[in-house]
Structure 1
Amino acid sequence: MLTAMPTATPPPSSQAAPAARERGDACPGALRLHAADDGALARVRLPGGVLTAGQARVLGAAAAQLGDGDLHLTSRGNVQLRGLADGCGTELAEALDAAGLLPSRSHERVRNIVASPLSGLDGVAPGDIRPWLTALDAALCASEAAAELSGRFLFALDDGRGDMTGLGADVILRTLPDGGAWLAPGAVRVTAGDAPRAALAAAEAFLDAARSHGTRAWRIRELGLPEAETARLVRDRLTAEGIGHAAHPEPPGTSDGPAPGVVGDALSVHVPLGRISAAQWAELTAVGATELRLTPWRGVVVPTADAAGAAGALARLGAAGLVTDPASPWLRVGACIGRPGCAKALADVRADAARTLEHTREQPSRQPRGTLPLYWSGCERRCGHPRGDHVDLVAAPGGGYRLSSGGDARTVPTADPSAIRAALTAITP
């Protein structure tokens, strides 16, 4: 069975070179917009990807009235609004604030928290991390020091199933079978009640280390410190904060994100390339009684209390164009924004990806033999590309794509779906 494309970057090694930058973090937010080729861009942080049905309607209205009409899901379970008109920043901020989506204007860019989207819904994991999510978000907003975190720093809350541990987060909390919590960096056990405070303490230890080393690191791995040294700094901080802890090995086991379908007391769907139309968003809010949970795999989990009507609701979402089939090839296709949204892009990679996928459906004999994820990039920067085994398709100057996987590479001088599919078939193991 195909699995969703990994969307976050894990640390490449236990020690990296310290970051050397001449500017601060320019990561966009809901208040600081980014000027893109298709208009201004706002990134709305949704800790844990969770938003109420009412908040979802507000975001949908903002996209329709101020932006390009679509909502763009990110690999951190957040939402981007694109194509925003000049001068709409105040109106957007007021709408988000009224909906409770801006609990702290000074901290809105640092509220980067991913969380197990099925927590408490399928009975698989030992703990429900929702209390951690609420407490950590509140602690972040209340911490003066945390406001200095970059917009790229990431927290992950794992309910024990292991779905968050491979997303390359800076700070990880994971429920343990005995009811405690495992914290990384530090590799220690803390009590469940202390877990949110411990996660914040780990982030503040990073800020102290960055200052003492004179680096403008945005992520923990950019400090360039050995893992043992980073762990010591975190443990010292926990001790200073009066948070009890004990060394504990990383819990075993890993898990992918939720597959499309009916999962426990929820519906799970995938959004192709993370772009969801106003009509599709409206369908999601219509079938979701109270909330939506956006996933780091550009999917949506909709809790439902109507088990009898779950299959019908899922079919309704499928009819709206959302992916409900766990065998869909869309689960392993990703792409940057490409043209026309990015000035650096050399191609409309999303349109090319869709055309190539459609060509596969029309001629199944040309399906690549393997199931490696495919990632389409508009330029050599390859924004958002995953690590791990995958096939890179990078737009080439003059047209076509450069394909590479492992040590194999070839160039397709045209964007014709038939030519690209033939090259993929040859390069995919």
Structure 2
Amino acid sequence: MPTAPDSPVNGAPAVPSAGRAAREDACPGALRLHTADDGPLARVRIPGGLLTSRQIRVPADAADDLGDGRLDLTSRGNLQLRGLRAPDAATALADRLAAAGLLPSYAHERARNVVASPLSGLDGHGYADVSDWAREVDALLCASPAAAGLSGRFLFALDDGRGDVAALGADVTLIARPDRATAELRLAGQAVARVPAADAPRWALRAAETFLRLAAGHTTRAWRLADVDPTGARVAGLLPVAVARATPGPGGTAAGTDTRSAARGGPRLGGLPQPGGGTWVLSAGTPLGRVTARAWRVLAEIADAAAGQVRVTPWRGVVVPGVPADDAPEVLRRLAGAGFLTGEDSPWRGVTACAGRPGCAKSLADVRADAEAAVRAGAAGPGHPLLPVHFSGCERNCGRPDGARVDVMATADGHYRVTTGGTGASTATGTAARDLPAAVATARRTTPPPPRTTT
């Protein structure tokens, strides 16, 4: 049975507090639920977005049996269940997740925030299959008593060299390098060292544990590495790095890598052949990051007939590898019929939103309904605009993507503030809901600056 999340679990020693983070971090988990207006909410961490065929159905069944019958995909490749009804929902959910191997450590369940390049090892690009790193980072985290002190906001990113998840603003980032023998270690977005690729996950854990030691002496909030070390230099200076130190510099993408998937919001939707022939990897999105449990079971059936796995992406989508080439067109049609987005021409491409009303008491508007109305009225604009757009119901701007984007934020006067952010400049306009389609379409055509690179 799950024990209280704030207590040492299974005899593990108490862990150091990251400043006030251990007392104040309100990020939900699978054990510590968030009380929303539409009922308790649980967030299930899926390190690297990796789900086996056996695990895929568990969240869908839990959503039907315990919640509102839907699943939310988050910007960190995790899953959320809303409207949990049963008084013992947390216990029942934990039991199901633990039995499926989705809750290997109760003490660490909120610390297992790990994103990875979704197509790594599947499309012939990149310098390493970082899904192996994801599994190792997760195992190392769960084996470290200190790592249980990481906040639910702390993020690891594992990039295979294509530059997609390196752009997501992680606290600790590993990037595979062309020599395939080393990896670049970035802290708070800054390149600080090159470490052996074979031991890269251990260096990531060392960096996180070093952050916790620094944060323990802080009297202010220290949820993220940048809270105590904005450049990563202090943490880097305490690491026993035995290989070349990188020159600290601005974050960005690895030199020579493709940034298109990050710019457009993840892997291209649709399908592409896998190396070796005979199979395809399919990529699908979700409207506003939400799907029904029924649609998730369709995904599970498709995975069963393919490679037996699914990868949840940080762009609120899924990747299904190993689909027989002859079946790929029909499988894409089946995914579309279940409600997934399967083509780049979808007007929902790159559109996200927070929960809004009625699920969130702090929201000033039903932003999902307004987002849907705006999209259907043409907010995507002609030519498929470059920038993602995020609708939010208040200043907290929950769930916003990192990087260049358009923020559409509800205001107390019943209007929206449309802001072009993350582009080096920011412009904001007050807009009535009826005028959103034109305002958003114009803002999304803003060309983001070219990404900065480091060598």
Q: Do they superpose with TM above 0.5?
A: yes
Number of equivalenced pairs: 399
Structure with the greater relative contact order (CA < 8 A, sep ≥ 6): 1 or 2? 1
Match of 2:197, SS state, is coil
Q: How does 1:186-335 map to 2 (within 5 A)?
A: 187-233=192-238, 237-239=239-241, 244-248=242-246, 251-252=254-255, 253-255=257-259, 256=261, 257-263=266-272, 264=274, 265-289=280-304, 290-335=308-353
Choose 247-256 or 170-179, whichever is displaced more: 247-256
Match of 2:153, SS state, is coil
In 1, Cα distance between equivalents of 2:216 and 2:300: 44
Distance 1:94 1:23, change over 3 A: closer
Aligned residue among 181, 184, 187 for 2:183:
181
Match of 2:284, SS state, is strand
Per the TM alignment, residue 285 of structure 1 is displaced from its structure 2 partner at its CA by 0.9
Q: Is the 8 A contact 1:369 1:425 kept in 2?
A: no
Per the TM alignment, residue 328 of structure 1 is displaced from its structure 2 partner at its CA by 2.2
Q: How does 1:383-402 map to 2 (within 5 A)?
A: 383-402=398-417
Distance 1:369 1:101, change over 3 A: closer
Match of 2:377, SS state, is helix
Choose 390-399 or 245-254, whichever is displaced more: 245-254
Aligned residue among 353, 377, 382 for 2:371:
353
Match of 1:246, SS state, is coil
Matched-pair identity in %: 51
Per the TM alignment, residue 261 of structure 1 is displaced from its structure 2 partner at its CA by 0.8
In 2, Cα distance between equivalents of 1:400 and 1:128: 46
Per the TM alignment, residue 120 of structure 1 is displaced from its structure 2 partner at its CA by 1.0
Distance 1:328 1:182, change over 3 A: same
Specify every segment of 5 or more residues in structure 1 that has no aligned partner in the other structure, as ranges. Answer: 1-17
Q: How does 1:412-423 map to 2 (within 5 A)?
A: 412-413=431-432, 415-416=433-434, 419-423=435-439
Match of 1:353, SS state, is helix
Distance 1:387 1:293, change over 3 A: closer
Match of 2:110, SS state, is helix
Q: Is the 8 A contact 2:173 2:204 kept in 1?
A: yes
Choose 219-228 or 105-114, whichever is displaced more: 219-228
Specify every segment of 5 or more residues in structure 2 that has no aligned partner in the other structure, as ranges. Answer: 1-17, 248-252, 275-279, 447-455
Q: Which residue of 1 is the match for residue 450 of structure 2?
A: none
Match of 1:127, SS state, is coil
Deviations 1:336-385 (A, max 9, x none): 11011100111111111111111228xx9x75995432221111221222
Q: Is the 8 A contact 1:349 1:376 kept in 2?
A: yes
In 2, Cα distance between equivalents of 1:306 and 1:280: 21
Deviations 1:362-418 (A, max 9, x none): xx9x759954322211112212223544322222224232223355433234x33xx
The alignment status of 1:373 with 2:388, answered yes or no, reads: yes
In 1, Cα distance between equivalents of 2:301 and 2:22: 47
In 1, Cα distance between equivalents of 2:343 and 2:415: 30
TM-score (norm. length: structure 1): 0.87
Deviations 1:283-328 (A, max 9, x none): 2111113111000000100112412211211121112221111132
Match of 1:324, SS state, is coil
In 2, Cα distance between equivalents of 1:285 and 1:422: 38
Which residue identity does 1:238 align to in structure 2? P
In 1, Cα distance between equivalents of 2:385 and 2:350: 11
Distance 1:159 1:404, change over 3 A: closer
Q: How does 1:109-120 map to 2 (within 5 A)?
A: 109-120=110-121
Which residue identity does 1:218 align to in structure 2? W
Q: Is the 8 A contact 1:176 1:182 kept in 2?
A: yes
Per the TM alignment, residue 424 of structure 1 is displaced from its structure 2 partner at its CA by 3.4
Distance 1:198 1:278, change over 3 A: same
In 1, Cα distance between equivalents of 2:269 and 2:361: 34
TM-score (norm. length: structure 2): 0.82
Distance 1:129 1:343, change over 3 A: same
Match of 2:194, SS state, is strand
Choose 85-94 or 200-209, whichever is displaced more: 85-94
Q: Which residue of 1 is the match for residue 32 of structure 2?
A: 32
Deviations 1:159-212 (A, max 9, x none): 121111100011111111212222123622222221111110010111111124
Q: Is the 8 A contact 1:19 1:223 kept in 2?
A: no
Q: Is the 8 A contact 2:282 2:320 kept in 1?
A: yes
Match of 1:187, SS state, is strand
Distance 1:125 1:347, change over 3 A: same
Distance 1:20 1:367, change over 3 A: farther
Q: Is the 8 A contact 1:121 1:266 kept in 2?
A: yes
Deviations 1:110-147 (A, max 9, x none): 01100111111111112111221221111100101111
Distance 1:133 1:20, change over 3 A: closer
In 1, Cα distance between equivalents of 2:183 and 2:428: 44
Q: Which residue of 2 is the match for residue 7 of structure 1?
A: none
Deviations 1:34-87 (A, max 9, x none): 110000000000100111122111110000110010000000000000000133
Q: Is the 8 A contact 2:269 2:284 kept in 1?
A: yes
Distance 1:90 1:325, change over 3 A: same
Q: Which residue of 2 is the match for residue 45 of structure 1?
A: 45
Q: Which residue of 2 is the match for residue 147 of structure 1?
A: 148
Distance 1:310 1:147, change over 3 A: same
Match of 2:254, SS state, is coil
